[in-house]
Structure 1
Amino acid sequence: MNKELEKLGINLEELIEQALSKIERLFLSEQYKEAEIVAYQLLRVDGHNLKGLQLYGLILSKQRKFMKSIEVFNQAIELDEANAENHNNIALAYLNIGKFEEALQHADRAIELKVNNYNFLGNKGLILRASGQLDKSIQHFESLTKINPSANVWINLGSAYGQKKQIEDAIRSFQEAIKLEPQNYAAHVDLAYAYFFAKDWNNAWKEYEYRIPYWRSEKSSMRRFSPKYQPENAWDGIKSLKNKKIAVYCEQGVGDMIQFARFIPELKKMGANVIVDTSDELAPLFDIVSKEERFDYHCSVLSLPFLLDKKTPEHFMKSNSYIFPKGENRLEAYENFYKIGIAWAGNPAHPNDSKRSLLLKYFKQIEKLNRVKLFSFQKELGKRYHLTTNQEVDLTEDCDDMNIVDLSPYMKDFGDTVELLNKMDLIITVDTSLLHLAGAMGKKTYALIPFNPDWRWGLEGSDNDWYESVMLFRQQEPDNWAEVFDRISPRITF
């Protein structure tokens, strides 16, 4: 082919270099689909182009096509086994699909080839942490702080300590990161979470405000900031709200909006005209909802505890039972049953979904209890794809023998959900919006909490700082939900 192209006056090597340059430009501008097409075409012409294979593998990884990227990186390794970057790249791909043994093998090989590459060393620590080898991960990152005390190393060390529930050490680590980089927003947010677990409320809420500049600069499907909410007209908690119009929004999930809505009446007491900017699905829960674009100030609902100086549980609990049903939605056919509403899964895009969602079959022992009837508040019943583990799972497998009442056809919005929840005797749910809604209504609720919980649930105990009617049932060890249900079943008496 090369000779034929030469006859036409075309230089193949020059074309390949141009293609590689184009792929790099597309990759750096995050145009991954376009870059993938060009890389694929290049490799059809020159399948042994090492740089092309490396770029193609990185492009696939950026699109979470990890199995395919592993194939490509393996081809690159066959061409150049002594290339440390190839081993590092494939290690990260294996990490993302949960194949930790393979990830560690390639991470060690990358480090062997480039002994003092701190990026490779840091990645090994991440693999150790993800695989549950927390002591080794901590030891690894502690050693790195002696030879390369960067902010990222301290952040990773703090995260490992946090996962091991050594909160004081986590706080110390995040503080060290901030000393090195005072404007490292990620370190501030992680420090906020650690303070929350330590119940150091004043420092926690202060540090948590750094999430706003952090998430404005970081793309995330879980956090959304509308362009109309710019820093210059954000309410600072000091300016008078009398006769002013303030828009309250939530940049995170549905459950967060429900949880923090308890603080909105405080703005009305200050004389504000409050606009609640939320989804149509949530709108029935609030008195004032608007898509109006004109307002004097705005603030995130998650910032209200800080801005209103209502930072401690005595303020949270005062607002208990603040969402109420507005009508009747009877379930007459089940009046003689003890009605338990259940949810076994949250948003599949949530970073911790693989840990907080669980298999429906764990509810079987509860369904078998005399005069108990289970009602599903789950909206998505099919297979789901865990973004963080890159795996498809069916949480309803082996459950064809269960006779659960599916309420999803009757829940067009959260107003309907409130009416149906009001008819339940008990709610058993994972950490998702249903938990917050039931708690906000004052309904008796058993919350299923993973071993490493979200910051708002603390680290121990069955009580919580947000809802008096909610009892926490925590995993005693990672991924063991069976033991949790063994503790719940005997408590269901009526």
Structure 2
Amino acid sequence: MYGDWQNSQAKVDRYSSAVSQYGNARFDAALALLEPLLTSHTADAHVFNLAAACCLSLDRLDHAEIYWRRAIALKPDYCDAHNNLGVVLKESGRLDEAKACYHKALSISPTHAGAYVNLGRLHAQLGRSDEAESCYLRALELQPGDGDVYVNLGVLYQEQMRLREAEAAYKSAIAANPRDAKAHFNLGVVLKMQHRFAEAEASYRHTLALRPDYFEVKINLAHLLLNVGRLEEGWALFETRYERAWPARKVAPPPVDFPLWRGEPLAGKSLLVWPEQGHGDSLQFCRYLPMLKALGLAKLSLACSPALRSLLETIEGVDACIPLDGEHDIPKHDYVCLTMSLPHRLGTTLTTIPAGTPYLSVPPAYAAQWKGRLPEGARRVGLVWAGDPRPDQPAINAVDRRRSLDARAYLPLLRVPGITFISLQKGALTQPQIDTLPLEFRPFDPMHGVHEFADTAAIIEQLDLVISVDTSIAHLAGALNRPTWVLSRYDGCWRWLHDRDDTPWYPRTRLFRQTQPGEWDGVIERVRIALEQWPAHERAPT
């Protein structure tokens, strides 16, 4: 194993110490021990393999690749080195080269379970679910009871919404290692996705008992509590989201040097409200701004996306609306508060949700600009069929895939007679889907002239109904007090609760939920029937 220096006890001891340091996650220390061995003319392939593994753990991908290639040069049939080189190439985005490395490892050792797992992960990343599943199952044949492989298999099934199979895989992982916190957490996720909330909560709390610092579990448990209407507990736990950066959503404290507001008296003070996550969250929670002003604030400022500025400036009590466009300075304030902390700081419960609508209004200039630009019709209905994909944020992008449809899924609605349909769909990939519809069923599309949410609001004000998947437009329509029908995925967002087809957030909003994961046909059919039965009184303001 130690090449020409195997009789040198000092070199053997140095390598053994490096192995020990690596096992204790002290990668810099291990690398320092290996340094003299790496420069020796008698360096062994295993030394380069260990050095490369340290570099990978330290995110030094270039050095890791160099060391693994040197290990292979010394020992061309070194199966582990080929497999490990594939890992670093995959991390570098060189997927074809990574795949070749895994196949090379398997050609040397057809029973190398780790190479099958890594190849399965690569196939999963490429969306080749069948190939990924085959690789994981083969790995389990070679290493029965391997908990890590079961977790990978569970993640694959979960992404395919094969929830019962994902549940079984995670339970197998837990049986193999009862202290596997990730398996317990993932089990909680799929239980919640199946609406088994009590079991999911138990899994989350068991995970936190194993790992009290498991940040993502706290966020998921907060969402679950909100989902079942335990708002006070949920808001309080949700405050942990900015204790440190959350990679899945990049939540972090606002980049200002004044303190977070934690409920201190506001009379005579100044407060800046800072946005987070998507536009929908800003539209839903801006309802709290007049309540803040009523606490005696001398100055209430709102930072926002430039696309929202003209609309949010209409809110009562807002003294300044600062667009986050890189051109406007943020003045000093006494406090700052994240948008989604407002329900917690203002003590919102299920029975005290501020549901008065409308709390947004169309700026007069925008109303005048859009007046008369829509086709005439006794019944005008706006349509949104897809959300905003975010490929750089895999977790959010996965949710978007579950909530979004193709425009052609709306054909049963578009065939309902007596309705003038108006598209409210924006997006480089989703707006052009109108062109895939039969010409006679295409909705009128004004969205090429839309540049801000105030434009969209001016259009919605002229509509009798908005039908939308769970996007920011659903919140905008609700905030404007327009009748709104929301198509909700099976594992719906926490804000819609879980056991009702109305919502306390928007009195004129109705929910049409999936009854099976991924199954939209039944939802569309229920919406079609409701549209055909749509009574005249629903078109008039309440």
- Normalised to the residue count of structure 1, the TM-score between the two structures is 0.84
1:282 pairs, out of 301, 305, 308, with 308
Q: Does 1:439 align with 2:478?
A: yes
1:353 to 382, 392, 400: 400
* Matches of 1:315 and 1:14, distance apart in 2: 68
| 2:255 match | 228
Equivalent residue for 2:149, pick from 114, 120, 126 = 120
1:193-213 alpha-carbon deviations (Å, 9 max, x no partner): 221222112211122112222
Distance verdict in 2 for CA 1:336–1:347, change over 3 Å: closer
Q: 1:362 aligns with which of 394, 400, 409?
A: 409
Among 257, 267, 273, the alignment partner of 1:242 is: 267
Is residue 420 from structure 1 mapped to residue 449 from structure 2 by the alignment?
no
Structure 1 residues 333 and 89: alpha-carbon distance in aligned structure 2, compared to 1, 3 A threshold: closer
Q: Any idea what SS the aligned residue of 1:464 has? A: coil
CA contact (8 A) 1:313 1:466 kept: no
CA separation of 1:489 and 1:138: change in aligned 2, threshold 3 A: closer
Q: Distance in 2 between matches of 1:363 and 1:475?
A: 15
Q: Confirm or deny: 8 A CA contact 1:111 1:117 kept in the other structure.
A: yes
SS of residue matched to 2:302: strand
1:255 to 2:280 alignment? yes
Q: Which residue of 2 aligns with 1:89?
A: 118
Residue pairs, 1:74-85, within 5 angstroms: 74-85=103-114
**Stretch deviating more after TM superposition (61-70 or 363-372):** 61-70
Residue aligned with 1:282, SS: helix
Find out whether 1:466 has 2:505 as its counterpart. Answer: yes
Q: Does 1:193 align with 2:223?
A: yes
Q: 1:345–1:357: 8 Å Cα contact kept in structure 2?
A: yes
Greater shift, 104-113 or 186-195, is seen at: 104-113
Query: Which moves more between the two structures, 121-130 or 85-94?
Result: 121-130
Going from structure 1 to structure 2, the CA distance change for 1:373 and 1:14 (only over 3 Å counts) comes to: farther
CA distance 1:367–1:142, shift in 2 (3 Å): closer
C-alpha distance 415-210 of structure 1, shift in aligned 2 (>3 A)? same
Distance 1:340 1:104 in 2: 43
CA contact (8 A) 1:39 1:52 kept: no
The CA distance in 1 between the partners of 2:221 and 2:294, in whole Å, is 32
SS at match of 1:462: coil
Change (3 A) 1:371 1:323: same
Distance of aligned partners of 1:63 and 1:160 in 2 relative to their CA distance in 1, 3 Å threshold = farther
Please report how far the alpha carbon of residue 286 of structure 1 lies from its aligned counterpart in structure 2 after TM superposition. 2.0
* Residue correspondence of structure 1 range 18-97 to structure 2 within 5 A: 27-28=56-57, 30=59, 50=79, 53-62=82-91, 69-97=98-126
Q: CA deviation at 1:304?
A: 0.7
Deviation at 1:23, TM superposition (A): 6.7
| TM-score normalised by length of structure 2 | 0.77
| CA 292–149 in structure 1, closer or farther in 2 if over 3 Å, else same | same
Aligned to 1:158, the other structure's residue is in SS state helix
Native 8 Å contact 1:447 1:471 kept in 2: yes
Are the equivalent residues in 2 in contact too, given 1:157–1:173 (CA < 8 A)?
A: yes
- Tell me how far apart the structure 2 counterparts of residues 126 and 269 of structure 1 sit (CA, whole Å): 47
The number of equivalent residue pairs is 469
Partner of 1:390: none
Contact kept in structure 1, 2:79 and 2:105, CA below 8 Å: yes
**Shift in Å at residue 374 of structure 1?**
1.9
Greater C-alpha Rg? 2
Structure 2 unaligned blocks of 5 or more: 1-38, 314-319, 323-328, 391-395, 537-542
Q: Which shifted more, 79-88 or 142-151?
A: 142-151
In 2: Cα distance, 1:93 partner to 1:395 partner:
30
Shift of the alpha carbon at 1:120? 2.6
Structure 1 runs not aligned, ≥5 long: 1-9, 385-393
- Residue type of the alignment partner of 1:454: C
Distance 1:48 1:298, change over 3 A: farther
Q: Which amino acid in 1 is paired with 2:267?
A: K
The letter for the 1-side match of 2:194 is K
Change (3 A) 1:450 1:27: same
Judging changes above 3 Å, is the alpha-carbon distance between structure 1 residues 276 and 333 closer, same or farther for their aligned structure 2 residues?
closer
Q: Is the 8 A contact 1:205 1:311 kept in 2?
A: no
SS at match of 1:248: strand
CA displacement at 1:381 relative to structure 2:
4.2
SS of the residue 2:291 aligns to:
helix
Whether the aligned pair in 1 keeps the contact of 2:260 and 2:335 (CA below 8 Å) is yes
Alignment of 1:264-279 (within 5 A): 264-272=289-297, 273-279=299-305
Percent of matched pairs sharing the same residue: 22
Q: Distance in 2 between matches of 1:338 and 1:56?
A: 62
Structure 2 CA distance for partners of 1:178 and 1:241, relative to 1, 3 Å: same
Q: Is the 8 A contact 1:331 1:423 kept in 2?
A: no
In the alignment, the residues of structure 2 paired with residue 257 and residue 476 of structure 1 have an alpha-carbon distance, to the nearest angstrom, of 29
Aligned-residue offset at 1:44 = 12
2:348 counterpart of 1:301: no
Aligned with 1:485 (options 499, 515, 524):
524
SS in 2 for 1:281: helix
Q: How does 1:364-379 map to 2 (within 5 A)?
A: 364-379=411-426
What CA distance in whole angstroms lies between the structure 2 residues aligned with 1:298 and 1:98? 42
